[in-house]
Amino acid sequence: MKNPFKTFEEACNYVKNLPYKRNSDKENINVIIEENGGTCSTKHAYLKRISDEFSMENVQLMLGIFMMNAKNTPKIKPVLEKYNL
């Protein structure tokens, strides 16, 4: 699939407004466009590819891990309570 964006900023704005959803094929970098949505991981991987196409050497794809709890991720509170986590 050809890059449909004229600028990296345009790509970022488009991806930012896509809904959050699980993708059917995480190996397909274009899946977020094809399925009109994606996870944080698939959206960021797509933007990294686009940044490479725009020869932006200062953009890096990095992994971040954080401890989820009922305070910083309220939607998981029932699961945490159910399993006494």
- Which sequence spans correspond to the domains of the chain? 8-82
Q: What average pLDDT is seen over the chain?
A: 93
59 three-class SS: coil
What pLDDT is attached to residue 80? 92
| Cβ pair 8, 53 in contact under 8 A | no
pTM here?
0.75
Amino acid at residue number 23: N
54 residue type, one letter: F
pLDDT digits (tens, 9 = 90+) for 39-67: 999 999 999 999 999 999 999 998 888 88
What is the C-alpha separation between 64 and 82, in angstroms, rounded?
A: 26
Query: Would you say the C-alpha torsion 22, 27, 32, 34 has a positive or negative sign?
Result: negative
Nearest to 18 by CA among 31, 41, 36, 39: 36
Q: Which pLDDT value is given to residue 34? A: 94
